[in-house]
Amino acid sequence: MNKSILFPAVLAGTLLLTACGQETKEEKPATEETEKTASVALSKETDAYKAYTVDQIDQFVKETDKFVTAFKAGNIEEAKALYPKARMYFERSEPVAESFGDLDPRIDARLADMKAEGKEKEWSGYHKLEKALWQDKTTKGLEGTADQLLKDAKELRAKVDTAEVTPKLMLQGSIDLLNEVSTSKISGEEEIYSHTDLYDFKANIEGAEKIFSLFKEKIIAKDKALATNIEDKFKNVNQLLDKHQKNGEFVSYEALTKEDTKALADAVDKLGEPLSQMAIIME
């Protein structure tokens, strides 16, 4: 992995952890009382983010149902068309979705990850069906996997109502979404069979941007220049992504040149550091 791509994201994570009250030589750890106070002060933002996440998962279940129906019927082209757009709802809401134990890997694990953990036989979810559609070019024999995916999506929807959304989860989540872009998305390894990585890329950026938008008013009150900087960096990333759309659809990731991917990586890197400053501003 290119270290120049990863470093800013790691740096951003470090800044965020420090800002969220992790103990350092100069600071004492945040107390439970402090975290409760912060949650109460930002309850409007956390409530809004939970409502956003619930809506995204609602849409995820509906679109997954359509995808599974097409897959089981053997309608390969229809299933291919539904695949990346259904996944966008999941990718936007991952800060909450990934908090429920093994549900996230059951829905979203890549084969390479399962092999690395010696769990290849347990592989399920969207990427297993992706392989069937684009590489194997058949849906036969995987009807049970498709059914399980829909069950897992519905289980996620049932559990999301119980999620505890805190300012820390949101702030960390915005950085985690960028980290995903800086690692598996920018390398093209997330959608290794379909090459629909740009849909995931866009959804991750939208998820992070939603978190920023909910804190924006309070950030402006404390540091207007920072808010403007973050807005500009989001705008830059989105403009670059828009260049890779044709008739409202993202092109195959394979169509991008090295210069294209470098431009996207640089734009995400430049967004990561000011975005991480939200945690310090919101302290």
For the domain made up of 52-164, give the CATH fold. Answer: A middle domain of Talin 1 (1.20.1420)
Q: For 195, phi and psi rounded to 5 degrees?
A: 60, 35
How high is the pLDDT of residue 2? 37
Nearest in space to 91 (alpha carbons), one of 44, 53, 37: 53
Domain boundaries, the chain: 1-17+166-283, 52-164
User: From residue 179, how far is each of 118, 197, 268 by CA, in Å?
Assistant: 25, 14, 9
The closest alpha carbon to 30, from 210, 160, 162, 171, belongs to: 171
Query: Could you tell me the pTM of the whole model?
Result: 0.86
CA dihedral 77→193→252→237, nearest 10 degrees, is 120
Grouped pLDDT means (10 residues each) for the chain, 283 residues? 38 43 43 52 94 98 98 98 98 93 92 93 97 98 98 97 94 92 85 97 97 96 96 97 95 96 95 89 78
pLDDT score recorded for residue 40: 60
Is there a shared CATH topology between the 1-17+166-283 domain and the 52-164 domain? yes
Say if residues 12 and 183 touch (Cβ distance below 8 Å): no
DSSP 31: P
Residue 101's pLDDT is what? 81
Instruction: Provide the angle, in degrees to the nearest 10, between the axes of the packed helices 43-72 and 143-160.
Output: 160
Residues in the chain: 283
Neighbours of 246 (CB within 10 A): 8
Packing angle of the helix pair 258-281, 197-222 (nearest 10 deg): 30
pLDDT, position 24 = 39
In CATH terms, the fold of domain 1-17+166-283 is: A middle domain of Talin 1 (1.20.1420)
- Residue 278: predicted pLDDT: 87
Spatial separation of the C-alpha atoms in residues 143 and 72, rounded to whole Å: 6
